[in-house]
Structure 1
């Protein structure tokens, strides 16, 4: 499974990538590739090497691009998917609605993935009702942030 996932991740460099500084969100969605995760027998090492290799290969491809371009990968817990994309922004400006933290090593992203024993499933026991007082308003800080492996592809 891990070698197959690693090969799939490596194929990201073959995708036709679109850069659109005027609409970064649309470009990032267009460049998005999601990989299903199988919790059984997951080995992070081949996938880790594949993500680093993709960053290096894309870096060689975009080295002369004008403006920032970033390759990034994260584990989306809700669907249980490893996701990769490219956007024409600095790593700290990636188009996420939630709080994230950039990491220069894919290990924290893959650790989340490896720890998920039921990818894409939230057990009923983990759910609870949220009162109106607990719902964060637009001015409130949310404590949770997720790791995003980010590689700046331009100088």
Structure 2
């Protein structure tokens, strides 16, 4: 499965990608590709190699682009998917609503995938009732951030 997943990830380098600096969110959504994961047959190494290779290939493809362009990949724990996209922003300015940390190595992203025994499933025991006050918004800053493998494709 991981060799198949690695081949699918590699195919991202051949995708038709759009750059739309005027609407980075639409750009990121338009370039988004998601890959499902089978945890029982997941091997990190070929997928790690594939992500690094995609960054290299896209770097060669976008070397002359004006302004920043970033390839990035993350593990969406709620969906149980490895996701990849390209956006015309710096690696630390990726269009996420949540807190993330840009990493130069895919290992932290893939470690989350490897540790997820049931991709896309939230056990009932992990759910809790939310009060009206909590639903209105958190009072304190949330410290959790997720890793995003990011490769700046332009100089």
Whether the TM-score (by the shorter chain) exceeds 0.5 is yes
User: Against the structure 1 CA distance between its residues 139 and 17, is the aligned structure 2 distance closer, same or farther, given a 3 Å change threshold?
Assistant: farther
Tell me by how many angstroms 1:23 deviates: 0.3
Q: Where in structure 1 are there 5+ consecutive unaligned residues?
A: none
| Contact 1:136–1:142 (8 Å) recurs in 2 | no
| Displacement of 1:143 | 1.2
1:49-89 CA deviation, whole Å, 9 max, x = no partner? 00000000000111110000000000001110000000000
In 1, Cα distance between equivalents of 2:27 and 2:133: 36
- State how many pairs are aligned: 155
Q: Which position in structure 1 is the counterpart of 2:65? A: 65
Are 1:109 and 2:109 an aligned pair?
yes
1:1-155 to 2 correspondence within 5 Å? 1-135=1-135, 137=137, 140-155=140-155
Structure 2 residue runs without a partner (length 5+): none
Whole-angstrom distance in 1 between the partners of 2:43 and 2:19: 32
In the superposition, relative to structure 1, how do residues 56 and 136 fare at CA in structure 2: closer, same or farther (>3 Å)? farther
Root mean square deviation of aligned Cα: 1.3
Distance 2:79 2:138 in 1: 25
1:69-122 CA-partner distances (Å, limit 9, x unpaired): 000000001110000000000011100000000000000000000000000101
Mapped to 2, the partners of 1:90 and 1:139 lie a distance apart of 30
TM-score where L is the length of structure 1: 0.96
Shift of 1:127: 0.8
